[in-house]
Amino acid sequence: MSSSSTSPVLAAALAVLLQPIAVAAQEAVFPLGVDEPPLEAGVDSTSPFDNESAAPENSVNTPVPPALISEELLPPWDLELQANRQWFESGLQRFVATGDVTLRLAGGRLQADRFEYSPANRVIWARGAVRFQRGNQYLQASLLRYNLRQGEGEIQDVYGVIDLATSPTDLNLDAPLSGTPQGNAAEQQQRLQLRANPPKPGTLVPPASVAPLPAAEPMACPPEIPPLRSRLPGPWALTAWGGQMTDATFGETFVFSGTPRPETLFGLGVTRRLVDADPFAIELDGNVLYHSATLNRRLRYTGGIPDSQKDRAVTEAQNFWEGTLGIGIRWWIQPWLSFAAIEGVSLNSALSNYEAASWENSAQFLNYLAAEIAIQFSHQWSAVGRIHHRSGAYGTYSGAEEGSNGYLIGLRYNFGATAQPPLQGETDPPPLGCPGAEAIDRDRFLPLEQQLESVVFDGPSAQQAAKAQAAVSEESTLTPTQQLQQRRNAIAALDQRVVDVQPRSGLIFERRVTSGDLAGLGNAEAQFGRATPDQLNTLAATKNEGLIRGEITHWRFQSPQLLLTPEGWSAPRISFTNDPFTPAQSWVDMRDVRSEQESDGTTVVRSKSNRLLLENKLPLPLPKTFRFSPEEEQEVSNRWSVLADTQDRDGIFLQYQLPEQTLFGSTRLSVRPQFMLERAFDGTTNTYPAPTASAGSGDVVQDNTTGDLFGVKALWSGPVGDANFNLEADISSFAPSNLSNATRSSAQWNQPLQWAALGNPLARAFGAYRYRVWNGSLGMQDVYSAYGVSLQNQSDSPRQVGPFQVSSYWRAGVGNYQSNGFIAGNTESNNFADLWRANAYGTLQMNWPLWTGKSLPLTPEGAYRYSPVPIIPGLQLTLVPFVNAAAYGGGQGQSLLGLSGGPVLTLGHFNRPLFDYTKLSLFGSATAKAGNSPFAFDRYVDTATLGVGLTQQLIGPLVLDGAISYNVAGDSDFYGDVTNNYFEIRWQRRAYQFGVFYSPYTGIGGLRLKLNDFRFQGPGLPFVPYEARTGVVQGPGAEDQPW
């Protein structure tokens, strides 16, 4: 979904295509028979789709002179129609073409088994293997009906591909075709415009011309793939437990470092699986355990015993019961091996003597936490090991901090029928033109007016209801593991009809918890700065803006029926996927959908239920209403968000994003008011200096005023001629006494210059007030104020220089800066230095592929099983030489000459279950330095650094990603300090990924769900799971979902 969403594109494609076809069809009229009256709005009981082999006897095959049609209605494009038979049916006043019908119009192509047009009713019908393609847009259906007079219609058994990156051009019939003189001229003009006014990084620019049509494709038919079957054992389980308590802490139990204490336990457990999302499951877990403890004279902890008695502390013998109840999540790594974590509550029938003696606070009712491993040695029996932990959850329960720990070993018996994915109630049959399609009754209920119209074109059967299809039950004799392998083999054998798959940016749902808002690196700085592992640029290159960012531009969609109206469209069900392959790893399923466009151009899509399906197993609820505004860059309006900023806002705050406004035709204004929740709760703020102190002084605690509870972020940006500007303000308090210290702002003006001798550089004028940046070991720094100009240029694409692929970047500028200075050495002052600064920087990015292996086959079960890009083994050397010289108004200077880089080794293909992908990056830097900057924000202290980055597949899609860098300059005051770090555990698949990340150095952590976006060629295959033997769609949750 994008700011130019898929919703209006569906109707727009039809209107753009069908209106010119209809007008062109009216260029000729056909004479009536001598005694035939003109057709009014009559109804004919014969179906034009019966007896298609021959034309009616009263048909006329000879065109006649053109009718009088106003000049403005005549299409400016040539229309070409080819068919096995064409005639005009004079009795019904309609034009008919049958047999391999192909219409070509302005580089687009419409194909069908039969095509009809009624000039009287202005209705277009196409039936049987209906296919439309222009550029990268593709649509197929069993039947297409469109009333040009009323602006409404219907499409049945719809499947298609929409590329929003090219749709503005593909759906514009005036756009020139690629390879023609007009197309070449348009492409050259676009190149000149983009050089003069470069788009924002990551922006997809629509092409200037329409791609030529490929060879005609046959219908894309639902593939026959063995259905999903759960590999998991029965949903109920009984476990017989026996175990030993230990004096280890919870963390120590994982490394078995504690000592057993004289307390044993045994009992029974009951488990009920609630959600089967193989390889994950959510379970309800309950246990009843009997504890038997004898006299204990060796207490490791005595926090609950008075100091005078600790030297002779003992716990008496005791017997008591314990009951636990919790919710667990289980991960089946293999059909025979699973891990689980259970969170819940624990209740003892008596206060544990051990807990009362060991800890200052104790209670009978505490938190319960368990970690479990299970090994299945048959489909019903398994051996289980569990770490049994109860505690106060950091004081949550009765002030208790600790509790007790033990080890349990059990024998588990699973029973009950494993629930298979239920069959959906909606039929989504293969379209006409696919095997078995003719045997399916696909007629629909229609309003009276459309029923009458359908009788004319489709016969009396159009009024009949769809016939229910009986499901066929078939028991499989294969084991779950064999069924899974059979399914994988079938997928690998499919002709996916997709080529040239390349990743695009994707849609990211991310929420960070952070100590402050890190100023993002510019794209040039991120690309051409000192060479570091890729992971260390992840957080610095993006800000903690909204929950949702990015876009998906290439969608495949599928629906049993689309009804088109002048106001929008509706569907009983419609599905979208970002995955180019079938079966889709992620897809959106919407029920009872209605899309309408409001007066301001905003498209509103409402549905009865809406969910994101991962692997066709795990349903995640989505909002039932989406709004797509042409005024907003963000593709889904994310109005409210709860954020955290301890640097400027004392913690948690609430933010609301107002609708983005367009000013002066092309510039955009975004405003986000804020309310400081944590500041309001505490009644104080401690993020600003005292009102009378200097700006560089330390923060002090102050009582809130009303103005301290409100803030705002605002951004105004846009083009002005061939230049563009960006103004940003961040205000964390409106209290007059704190306003100067609560405001951060920046401004830029970017002007492309046509100076060929310098490579057509970019000129910048900039200003900043209290702008925050990071500077290696010196950490976060504030530029209190700055203004100046600069000139910069980067190479358009790498050049081959010997074995190296070389890119270049340079920048020169002058400005006035106020920022923290230094008292002596590297000791910062609370006062600001106010100096002019002239700076020149130049660097080369040099990549040398020393060894390159081969990719696996580019199939969903090959190279694209887990990764959105093929993993190619190899060894690459990256070198980044750079020079930096700066002169300051006080007579000081800082000159740097350095080299950074290192090898990047990639092993494996990321396809096998274990350790099949390793990416190891080793980077270092060495810099010769002369002089010191008087400012903290650009003083270079990390003259020698060493960094390592590792991306490692652990099991299946589970990936560990991390990097760390150190200052290794022996003469530096910061020798041995960490200069940056980043860690992430990620579940990665081709179409999506989910990760938890944290950077101890920057204090930034969070959760991230990403749906990947792809560029690809070809129609692909229908992706909604369809089982041919039953004729119904499969998937989790046939019933109406509560969301």
For the domain that residue 278 is a member of, what is the CATH number? 2.40.160.20
Could you tell me which of 851, 876, 869 has the C-alpha nearest to residue 988?
Answer: 869
763-813 pLDDT, tens digit per residue, is 999 999 988 777 777 777 778 899 999 999 888 778 888 889 999 999 999
The whole-number pLDDT of residue 365 equals: 95
The whole-number pLDDT of residue 439 equals: 63
Are 287 and 276 contained in the same domain? yes
Are 156 and 26 contained in the same domain? yes
User: Domain for residue 795, yes or no?
Assistant: no
User: Domain for residue 311, yes or no?
Assistant: yes
Is residue 418 a contact partner of residue 235, using CB atoms and an 8 Å limit? yes
- At residue 896 the predicted structure's pLDDT band, cuts being 50, 70 and 90, is very high
Are 199 and 267 contained in the same domain? no
- At residue 536 the predicted structure's pLDDT band, cuts being 50, 70 and 90, is low
User: Domain for residue 153, yes or no?
Assistant: yes
Residues 97-105: what's their mean pLDDT?
90
The whole-number pLDDT of residue 1032 equals: 42
Residues 249-271: what's their mean pLDDT?
91
The whole-number pLDDT of residue 65 equals: 37
The whole-number pLDDT of residue 518 equals: 40
Tokens at 836, concatenated:
């002019």
How many domains does one find in the chain? Answer: 3
| H helical segments located in 304-432 | 353-358
**Cβ-based burial of 681 (10 A; exposed 0-12, middle 13-18, buried ≥19):** exposed
590 φ, ψ (degrees, to nearest 5): -120, 140
Are 190 and 268 contained in the same domain? no
- At residue 514 the predicted structure's pLDDT band, cuts being 50, 70 and 90, is low
Tokens at 451, concatenated:
């029923």
The whole-number pLDDT of residue 48 equals: 38
User: Domain for residue 621, yes or no?
Assistant: no
- At residue 702 the predicted structure's pLDDT band, cuts being 50, 70 and 90, is very high
> Is the pLDDT score of 12 beyond 90?
no
Could you tell me which of 301, 374, 297, 300 has the C-alpha nearest to residue 341?
Answer: 374
Using the 8-state DSSP alphabet, how is residue 884 labeled? E
> Is the pLDDT score of 137 beyond 80?
yes
Could you tell me which of 803, 806, 776 has the C-alpha nearest to residue 937?
Answer: 776
- At residue 507 the predicted structure's pLDDT band, cuts being 50, 70 and 90, is confident
* 114 Cβ contact list (under 8 Å, min separation 6): 48, 49, 52, 96, 97, 98, 99, 101, 125, 126, 127, 128
Residues 625-629: what's their mean pLDDT?
72
Is residue 972 a contact partner of residue 952, using CB atoms and an 8 Å limit? no
- At residue 691 the predicted structure's pLDDT band, cuts being 50, 70 and 90, is confident
Percent of the chain at pLDDT exceeding 90: 39
* 158 Cβ contact list (under 8 Å, min separation 6): 139, 140, 141, 557, 558, 559, 560, 561, 562
* 312 Cβ contact list (under 8 Å, min separation 6): none
CA 841, chain centre distance (Å): 36
Are 295 and 409 contained in the same domain? yes
- At residue 391 the predicted structure's pLDDT band, cuts being 50, 70 and 90, is very high
Are 331 and 459 contained in the same domain? no
Residues 1022-1028: what's their mean pLDDT?
76
The whole-number pLDDT of residue 426 equals: 42
Residues 285-292: what's their mean pLDDT?
97
Could you tell me which of 376, 272, 275, 256 has the C-alpha nearest to residue 325?
Answer: 272
Are 386 and 255 contained in the same domain? yes
> Is the pLDDT score of 18 beyond 70?
no
- At residue 1039 the predicted structure's pLDDT band, cuts being 50, 70 and 90, is very low
Tokens 């007030």 sit on residue: 769
CA angle 978, 981, 982 (to 5 degrees): 170
Are 52 and 129 contained in the same domain? yes
d(CA 26, CA 1016): 38
Residues 77-88: what's their mean pLDDT?
83
Task: Give the SS3 label for residue 770.
Answer: strand
Residues 25-36: what's their mean pLDDT?
38
The whole-number pLDDT of residue 20 equals: 54
The whole-number pLDDT of residue 46 equals: 35
d(CA 748, CA 767): 7
> Is the pLDDT score of 525 beyond 60?
no
716-741 pLDDT, tens digit per residue, is 998 888 888 999 999 999 999 999 99
Are 388 and 263 contained in the same domain? yes
User: Domain for residue 322, yes or no?
Assistant: yes
> Is the pLDDT score of 77 beyond 90?
no
> Distances in Å between the alpha carbon of 399 and those of 343, 344, 393, 894?
19, 17, 9, 56
Task: Give the SS3 label for residue 938.
Answer: coil
In this structure, how many other beta carbons lie within 10 angstroms of the beta carbon of residue 951?
Answer: 22
Average pLDDT value over all residues in the chain: 80
Element (H, E) at 376: strand 365-376
* 681 Cβ contact list (under 8 Å, min separation 6): none
User: What totals of helices (H) and strands (E) does the chain contain, helices first?
Assistant: 9, 49
The whole-number pLDDT of residue 825 equals: 58
The whole-number pLDDT of residue 428 equals: 66
Residues 515-524: what's their mean pLDDT?
42
Tokens at 982, concatenated:
């980043």
454 φ, ψ (degrees, to nearest 5): -70, -35
User: Domain for residue 694, yes or no?
Assistant: no
Is residue 141 a contact partner of residue 158, using CB atoms and an 8 Å limit? yes
Is residue 408 a contact partner of residue 242, using CB atoms and an 8 Å limit? yes
Lowest-confidence range among 309-323, 529-543, 589-603, 645-659? 529-543
User: Domain for residue 457, yes or no?
Assistant: yes
d(CA 295, CA 315): 6
- At residue 629 the predicted structure's pLDDT band, cuts being 50, 70 and 90, is low
Is residue 310 a contact partner of residue 298, using CB atoms and an 8 Å limit? no
- At residue 195 the predicted structure's pLDDT band, cuts being 50, 70 and 90, is low
> Is the pLDDT score of 817 beyond 50?
yes
User: Domain for residue 139, yes or no?
Assistant: yes
Residue type, 158: V
Tokens 């209403």 sit on residue: 625
Residue 1014 pairs with which residues in a beta bridge? 503
Cis bond upstream, residue 279 (ω within 30) = yes
Cis bond upstream, residue 181 (ω within 30) = no
Are 104 and 184 contained in the same domain? no
* Residue span of the structural domain in which 16 resides: 6-175+210-216+448-463
d(CA 976, CA 149): 76
Residues 170-193: what's their mean pLDDT?
85
* 830 Cβ contact list (under 8 Å, min separation 6): 694, 696, 697, 698, 820
* 455 Cβ contact list (under 8 Å, min separation 6): 43, 44, 45, 462, 463
> Is the pLDDT score of 905 beyond 90?
yes
The whole-number pLDDT of residue 272 equals: 95
- At residue 363 the predicted structure's pLDDT band, cuts being 50, 70 and 90, is very high
The whole-number pLDDT of residue 147 equals: 87
> Is the pLDDT score of 486 beyond 90?
no
Residues 748-767: what's their mean pLDDT?
88
Highest-confidence range of 501-505, 654-658, 915-919, by mean pLDDT? 915-919
Is residue 1024 a contact partner of residue 616, using CB atoms and an 8 Å limit? no
- At residue 991 the predicted structure's pLDDT band, cuts being 50, 70 and 90, is very high
- At residue 131 the predicted structure's pLDDT band, cuts being 50, 70 and 90, is very high
* 676 Cβ contact list (under 8 Å, min separation 6): 649, 650, 653, 685, 708, 709, 710, 711, 732
Element (H, E) at 480: helix 480-493
DSSP result, 327-357: EEEEEEEETTEEEEEEEEEEEESS--HHHHH
Is residue 1024 a contact partner of residue 1032, using CB atoms and an 8 Å limit? no
The whole-number pLDDT of residue 183 equals: 87
Residue with the larger pLDDT of the pair 880 and 61? 880
Task: Give the SS3 label for residue 1011.
Answer: strand
Residue 244 pairs with which residues in a beta bridge? 264, 407
Tokens 């003069």 sit on residue: 196
Lowest-confidence range among 589-598, 860-869, 870-879, 904-913? 589-598
- At residue 37 the predicted structure's pLDDT band, cuts being 50, 70 and 90, is very low
Lowest-confidence range among 467-476, 610-619, 751-760, 1019-1028? 467-476
Are 328 and 272 contained in the same domain? yes
The whole-number pLDDT of residue 158 equals: 93
Are 40 and 150 contained in the same domain? yes
Residues 417-440: what's their mean pLDDT?
64
| Interstrand relation of 992-999 and 1004-1017 (parallel, antiparallel or unpaired) | antiparallel
d(CA 318, CA 261): 13
The whole-number pLDDT of residue 393 equals: 84
Indicate the length of the chain as a whole number.
1043
Task: Give the SS3 label for residue 574.
Answer: strand
Could you tell me which of 608, 532, 597 has the C-alpha nearest to residue 567?
Answer: 597
CA 265, chain centre distance (Å): 47
